[in-house]
Amino acid sequence: MIDITLGSYRLLESITVWEVSREPSLSDHRHILFTLQGSFPALLIRNPRGTNWGSFREGLRDKLERGPMSMENEAGLGLAVHWIQQALITAYEDNCPLRPAKNGRKSLKWT
């Protein structure tokens, strides 16, 4: 088995206290405990279940009605596709607010 600890220099600067745990770890290695100093941004997510779908449809309809929908040539079609994509994204973001992620059973991925 290969034992690897991943980190970064930026993270290293935030570690102020560390120690090797005395608790059993069910491995031939001990856990390393440490304290992080500073503030870290909360992971924000959108939960589609919390979307206001009525307002989403109204906002999308309004945005699409004002869009350039000339599809007579390839350039016009490309512009219309881009407009529709942006209208969908904007309507969703306007009606599904960002909320802090809850640390439940599923692990959260930080990017």
Closest CA to 33 of 15, 23, 21: 21
Helices assigned H by DSSP within the chain: 9-12, 53-65, 74-95
Instruction: Identify the pLDDT of residue 111.
Output: 40
The residues of the chain scoring below 70 in pLDDT are: 1-3, 5, 69, 103-111
Pairing of strands 32-36, 99-100: unpaired
Instruction: Identify the pLDDT of residue 24.
Output: 84
Q: What is the pTM for the complete model shown?
A: 0.55
- Residues whose CB is less than 8 angstroms from the CB of residue 57 and which lie 6 or more positions away in sequence, other chains included: 91
Instruction: Identify the pLDDT of residue 71.
Output: 72
Instruction: Identify the pLDDT of residue 102.
Output: 78
Block residue for tokens 């206001």: 52
